[in-house]
Structure 1
Amino acid sequence: MAEDRRQQRPSRGGSSAGRGSSSGSGRSGSSSSGRGGASRSSGDARGRGSRDSAPRGGGSSRGGYQGGDKRSGGGKDRAFRGRSEEKARTADQAAYDGPDLPEGVTGAELDRGVRAQLKGLPEKLAARVARHLAAAGMFIDDDPELAYQHALAARARASRIAVVREAAGETAYAAGHYAEALAELRAAKRMNGATDYLPIMADCHRALGNPEQAIKLAKSPSVANFASEAKAEMTLVEAGARRDMGQLDAALRTLELAPLTSKSRSSWVVRLRYAYADTLEEAGRDSDALAWFHRTHAIDSDELTDAAARADLIERRQT
């Protein structure tokens, strides 16, 4: 599910190479497409809704006469209480309720695999959970905090379902709540054994100031079996962690093991080349950096990076 959004997420370090760039603390994404989480695509959004029972706090919502306590001999202390005396919702209850659900989100937006994971819930509860997941998918790019709140509402109702914890983790990550994202994705991984959360988890460690843990995850044996894009994401995170630790040479070696000269024009190749050029410049190798910024710009038809502008700055310095 994160696969469709990886190119869209901005870098925490300000690099327009996108999230996961080795310059600054870039965010990276895992390749969990198809299992469901908070994807914005129509085949992977979450949604389906109905009523379910939410915990209610506060005074009686019925109002009316409550009657006296005959055993204590008095009815004066048990007076009429109206609806106006209902207590305010607690923070936990408000999180359970979640934000208002968008009109038109019915559940048809969900991937079939996601719907299958919700079948173990009572029908009305599953419908409500699915609608919140769909809303999370709708908002994750434009309003990640709102998406996260929808995912939390789903989690409050179905915390033992992996796809729900996955959605909570990915939306937390998109909203910049890295500790929460790491906890949610760890929970999802325990439930379903998936390893494609590892790049996001590694980047969360990096964002939390633990680059050593990011590198440890990058060395996981399962990374060897990742698809090309997911491998690139992990490479970007590992190179960024090396840079965080001041290990520029190690960062360059990490990137040089990636397919920088691939003939593909996919976004992950663009981002690898950009990260390599950026690291070369930081290492003081301006001529090499200039060449790689030009190589990045040559395949960056969608203008995911500012490679052309970076090349121009280096050229001005050299004249």
Structure 2
Amino acid sequence: MRPRHDDPEIPEDVQPRDLDKVARNELKSLTKDNADWVAKHLVMASRLIDEDPELAHAHALSAARRAGRIGVVRESLAITAYETGDYALALRELRTFRRISGSDEQLPLMVDSERGVGRPEKALELGRSVNRSTLTPATQVSLAIAMSGARLDLGSPELALGELEIPQLDPDRAFSYSPALYDAYAEVLSELGRDADAALWRRRASVALQLLGDPDESETVEIVEEELPMDESDDTAVDGYASDDAVISDGDDDAFDIPADDIAATDDAVIEADEADVAGSAEEAVRPNEADEADKTDAAVETDAADETGEEDEDGAVRPQED
């Protein structure tokens, strides 16, 4: 019998409107009360992901138990699972998110999760399955970094370097994704024994990071660059939510329960089973106003099991001035 999942507490200051509008809009297929409850757990998952990923994951799991057919909910569960090191669960949830949303935005995380469960060859195969020109520049960079890591896992640093030599690897222009790309490039150069080149790219990464400042302050980062050292060393309206008389069921405690210890991170058989065990055993307690939302979720989650395959816009940039 699966251990009971207790919903983590939500501070009183957390409000549904704290969730971004795009995500809130996805919740409109739920009743308003349920949407608000799910939104607050998603807000908490986002707040806690860096400082307490385990608690963030608990909030994401609570949201998923009530809204298991909503893409942003499954995406949140996947990301928090990844941050806790549960790569098998992350991979499974990323497949489901991809299937629900039709988006390849999280493909880099899928590739990295394949690495996490010890399958770098499959990671490379997955990364090659998508036309990269259809991805945003930021996603292309994240994918290149993940693919490079898979090459390193296989002991091929030269090929790892090649994965990173993409148009976005521009030493003269910095975007929000540049520091991570520069650092990854420096790491592979170190693996190849090219220490002077590695030091140069690390310095570039540091300068770019300083110039970018806090990327959360604005979607478009204006960069005023200096010479690069070259030495060798709102509230969403209530209208549009599902009514209590026409609820689109999205799950409750009975319909969605994925405890982390149900999934072995390195067990291929569990990964291949995908969503087959998600419906699980019914728990004893269901909130009174949630029971009617559970009926259709088992079928929806079982449908998730059938498919194993599953933006960041360019930031502003200016060329550095040269003395």
Which range, TM-score by smaller chain? 0.5 to 0.7
- 2:136 aligned to which of 227, 245, 248: 227
- Superposed, 1:1-319 pairs within 5 Å as 92-93=3-4, 95=5, 97-301=6-210
1:106, distance to aligned residue in structure 2 (A): 1.9
CA–CA separation in structure 1 for the residues paired with 2:28 and 2:170: 46
Asked whether the equivalents of residues 202 and 218 of structure 1 are also in contact (C-alpha less than 8 Å), the reply is yes
RMSD over aligned Cα, in angstroms?
A: 2.4
Identify if the C-alpha distance between structure 1 residues 292 and 140 changes in structure 2 by more than 3 Å, giving closer, same or farther. Answer: closer
Identify if the C-alpha distance between structure 1 residues 134 and 302 changes in structure 2 by more than 3 Å, giving closer, same or farther. Answer: same
Letter of the structure 1 residue corresponding to residue 59 of structure 2? H
> Where does structure 1 lack aligned partners over 5 or more consecutive residues?
1-89, 305-313
Asked whether the equivalents of residues 61 and 77 of structure 2 are also in contact (C-alpha less than 8 Å), the reply is yes
1:220, distance to aligned residue in structure 2 (A): 2.7
Letter of the structure 2 residue corresponding to residue 187 of structure 1? T
Letter of the structure 1 residue corresponding to residue 39 of structure 2? A
| Identity over aligned pairs, percent | 39
Deviates more, 1:259-268 or 1:122-131: 259-268
CA–CA separation in structure 2 for the residues paired with 1:126 and 1:296: 41
CA–CA separation in structure 2 for the residues paired with 1:116 and 1:260: 35
What does the per-residue CA deviation read over 1:273-305, in whole Å, with 9 as the maximum and x for residues that have no partner? 22222212211223433433343344342799x
CA–CA separation in structure 2 for the residues paired with 1:126 and 1:299: 40
Identify if the C-alpha distance between structure 1 residues 260 and 112 changes in structure 2 by more than 3 Å, giving closer, same or farther. Answer: closer
In the superposition, the TM-score normalised over structure 2's length comes to: 0.61
In the superposition, the TM-score normalised over structure 1's length comes to: 0.62
CA–CA separation in structure 1 for the residues paired with 2:21 and 2:58: 23
1:169, distance to aligned residue in structure 2 (A): 0.8
What does the per-residue CA deviation read over 1:126-158, in whole Å, with 9 as the maximum and x for residues that have no partner? 222222112112211211111100010111112
- Identify which of structures 1 and 2 has the higher relative contact order when contacts are C-alpha pairs closer than 8 Å and 6+ apart: 2
CA–CA separation in structure 2 for the residues paired with 1:190 and 1:250: 31
Q: Secondary structure, in 3 states, of the residue corresponding to 1:108?
A: helix
Structure index of larger Rg = 1
Identify if the C-alpha distance between structure 1 residues 244 and 120 changes in structure 2 by more than 3 Å, giving closer, same or farther. Answer: same
1:111, distance to aligned residue in structure 2 (A): 2.0
Counting matched residue pairs gives 216
CA–CA separation in structure 2 for the residues paired with 1:281 and 1:247: 13
Deviates more, 1:198-207 or 1:250-259: 250-259
CA–CA separation in structure 1 for the residues paired with 2:189 and 2:181: 12
CA–CA separation in structure 1 for the residues paired with 2:198 and 2:190: 5
